Amino acid sequence: MKNTTTQELLSLARTAALEAGAAILEVYHSPNFGVQLKEDDSPLTRADQAAHAIISRHLAATGLPVLSEEGTQHNYEARSAWTWYWLVDPLDGTKEFIKRNGEFTVNIALMHQNQPMAGVVFAPCLETLYWGAGETGVFKEERGASTALIPLPQKQNLQELGKRPHLKIIASRTHLSPETQTFIEQFSQAQLVSMGSSLKFMLLAEGKADLYPRFAPTMEWDTAAAHALLNALGYGIYQTDLSAELHYNKPSLLNPSFLAF
């Protein structure tokens, strides 16, 4: 890390995400996804495996540990000693992939201890890449055109946010739990926006939505890359009591419920 800049690491992660996205699309446009069920009954496809292999190969060049949903699940004793590492979801939104609705992403986060420092989120079907860090700014690249995303002028307050007359709340297409529904109902005039995978967070990043409540299970690799981008833009992903943001590299990689705004 001493002689490698965040910009250089982001460039490598972008290359890995783009190449993984191309491999994912090959499977996406094939007649057979090779769907299997993992031990937790979540689906696994040939695309997940191909993307994991490509990303791991690229990131290995940095010498940093890689914690990937589809890779070796390092025990806490080993990974608690990591200072810098990569946190990866090779195919976020596998259920959306199987439904062929295009709302899936490749997520790569550069982590420092328990915080996401830089991130890459790539949506292959949309040909859209988000990347950045606090020190570089955040960018959206769509079909060859690059745009800098504008940071918030100041941190937002949930109470004030709730008073907006046209509040847009993000709801998951696949995981709208009763607790999430109950939370949403307190905002009687809110408009719901649905999206799959970490693209939900990118709606916040682009100012297309205001609030993303999540009272359903997620893993650290589901949120980390988007979390880095949101933090760089002045947003946060908070624990539901608002006492702190999500933190990472915990003994359990399961996230608590959260509010992103």
What is residue 37's predicted lDDT score, i.e. its pLDDT?
Answer: 82
Strand partners of residue 170: 193
pLDDT value of residue 228:
98
- pLDDT, residue 72, reads 86
For residue 244, what pLDDT band results from cuts at 50, 70 and 90?
very high
Compute the mean pLDDT over every residue in the chain, rounded to the nearest whole number. 94
Q: Please tell me the predicted confidence (pLDDT) of residue 28.
A: 96
Is the predicted pLDDT of residue 114 greater than 60, yes or no? yes
Is a pLDDT exceeding 60 seen at residue 111? yes
Predicted confidence at residue 175, as pLDDT, reads 67
Q: Per residue in 175-233, pLDDT tens?
A: 678 898 899 989 988 999 999 999 999 999 999 999 999 998 999 999 999 999 999 99
pLDDT value of position 173: 64
pLDDT at 34: 83
11-60 pLDDT, tens digit each: 999 999 999 999 999 999 998 888 888 877 788 889 999 999 999 999 99
The stretch 96-112 carries a mean pLDDT of 96
Number of other residues whose CB lies within 10 A of the CB of residue 5: 11
CA dist., res. 240 & res. 207, Å (int):
21
Please state, for a pLDDT cut of 90, what percent of the chain lies above it: 82
Of the candidates 153, 150, 134, which has an alpha carbon nearest to the alpha carbon of residue 228? 134
Strand extents, DSSP E, the chain: 36-37, 43-44, 66-68, 84-92, 105-112, 115-123, 128-133, 137-142, 145-148, 168-172, 191-195, 212-214, 237-239, 258-260
- Integer-rounded Cα Rg, in Å, for the chain is 17
Q: What are the backbone angles phi and psi of residue 110, rounded to the nearest 5°?
A: -95, 120
Q: What's the predicted TM-score (pTM) here?
A: 0.95
pLDDT of residue 232: 98
Confidence class for position 252, pLDDT limits 50, 70, 90 = very high
- pLDDT-wise least confident of 36-45, 73-82, 104-113: 36-45
Which H or E run contains 201?
Answer: helix 199-205
| The pLDDT of residue 77 | 96
- The better pLDDT of the pair 189, 239 is held by 239
